[in-house]
Amino acid sequence: MKQLRSEGDSFSFEPYWWETDQKIVLEKYALPETLDVLVVGAGYTGLAAGIIANGLGAKTLIVDAEDIGNGASTRNGGMFGAHPRVGWEQLSLNFGKETADQIFKEAFDSLTFVRDLISSEQINCDLIESGRLQLAWSQNDHEKQKKLVSVIEEKSNINVKIIPRNELVNEIKTERYYGGILFEDHCGINPFKFHNGLINALRRKEVPIVENMPVFSIERKGDRFKIHCGTKVIYARNVVMATNGYTKHSFKWFKKRVFPVPSFLIATEDLPSELIQELSPRGRMMVETRLKYSYFRTSPNGKKIIFGGRAAMKPIPLILAAQRLKIVMHDIWPELKKYRLSHVWTGFTGYSFNHIPHVGQYNGIHYAMGYSGSGTVLAAYLGAKAAYQALNDPRGKTGYSNTSFKTSPFHIFERPHFLSVADFWYRNISDRWQNR
Ligand SMILES: Cc1cc2nc3c(=O)[nH]c(=O)nc-3n(C[C@H](O)[C@H](O)[C@H](O)COP(=O)(O)OP(=O)(O)OC[C@H]3O[C@@H](n4cnc5c(N)ncnc54)[C@H](O)[C@@H]3O)c2cc1C
């Protein structure tokens, strides 16, 4: 395990989750020459797509460019729920009322789908019925939350509850917030165990998953695709791209539409159980309304605080990320100042320009991506939708196919250089304004 040292901390810079379960050693497979479905990328999107394609009788192969589990799916915060990142009004303005309604409805449908998948595949991923608390950073944010609750109650089956400021004391020990919304159906999971569980489900079904097998090109040849994969060429009737924040430059059309934004997480050393109980009495998943929001939770074993945020909008050294996140965490919970960190890590989320994921096809290549930081539920759900669509199954219908997946005039270079401007803006203007 790689170690870093800083200000008395000596911590690993691999995800804490990776210590909580065995890394799976995949069987060796000879690559088949022809397939019904090739899935590119073995995170939640690709693995769920593989399960569905195989269930529909398609000869399926899943490949990943890296060691299995190197993407965001084993690195995330494990906050499990699919509330749309964009409000109903904005969705309706951009894509019409029907699509806005459908996306709000799918917040519940997707949660149910993925929970059913977890139970039908008997995945033990430390799922806890914690609820998720969205914490208002200002009074104004809390007023907006009250309006959001009435929209959610009208448009979705998700159970939500306003938590006024004077009741926050039952949820979190801090004076920082002005109230909150509780998403009662949202949960917490161990993301690494969820990923391992999906892999094991596919292994039981004997669906091959091959790691360190990058796809370099996909070319249409009549009714099939010719795919350069590692050093091999394979032919597939359908391809599902499931590469999200790790999409490579060779896939320019996708790369122009989904860009990588890093997110950073720290874990504290094991804390006294009374302290954890005092800081977070109900063990909720928590997220803020601040533009550059923090998200935090207790670890499933109840011993650590896991605290995440956008320490930067671009990759930075992990020691710096840890220092920045610690400052924010200590501002909320000064009690943690005397405890050390055990881990800091990062991963790439895949952002779309309108912050809404998209499921569709480009030149016949199916895809699901653009979860914009919220993919523990949506990636698995929309990966399944992409597989259904690829195989012409009516269950592929989703409001996320009616959203747009556009590039931006600011995205003119190969890399998303506009993130440096965003980083400057967040750190020097928006953060100072919101934290004043
Ligand atoms: C630090 C962090 C914290 C997060 N916290 C949360 C959270 O608490 N709640 C939440 O809902 N979401 C969270 N997310 C987002 C969530 O993890 C992602 O949306 C989700 O995991 C995306 O899954 P995916 O399968 O689409 O992509 P990934 O899991 O990133 O997998 C993509 C895979 O594609 C592979 N690939 C890329 N190009 C190729 C190629 N050419 N050939 C073959 N393979 C290729 C990559 O190697 C990678 O393994 C977080 C993300 C990060 C990074």
- Domains recognised in the chain with CATH numbers: 3-124+189-266+316-324+340-401 (3.50.50.60)
Please return the burial class of 367, using the count of CB atoms within 10 Å of its CB with bins 0-12, 13-18 and 19+.
Answer: buried
pLDDT tens track for 83-116? 888 899 999 999 999 999 999 999 999 999 999 9
- The DSSP 8-state label assigned to residue 153 in this structure reads H
Tell me, in angstroms, the distance from the centre of ligand 1 to residue 335's CA. 33
Q: Each residue of 269-325: pLDDT tens digit? A: 999 999 999 999 999 999 999 987 899 999 999 999 999 997 777 889 999 999 999
Model confidence pLDDT, tens digit, residues 111-160: 999 999 999 999 999 999 999 999 999 999 999 999 999 999 999 999 99
9-12 and 3-6: which strand pairing? antiparallel
Rounded Cα distance between 347 and 245, Å, is: 9
Residue nearest to atom 19 of ligand 1 (CA): 375
- Is the shortest distance between the CB of 73 and ligand 1 below 6 Å? yes
pLDDT tens for 210-234 read: 999 999 999 999 999 999 998 999 9
Closest atom of ligand 1 to 251 CA is: 41
Cβ–Cβ under 8 Å, residues 198 and 44: yes
Q: Is the CB of 379 under 6 A from ligand 1?
A: yes
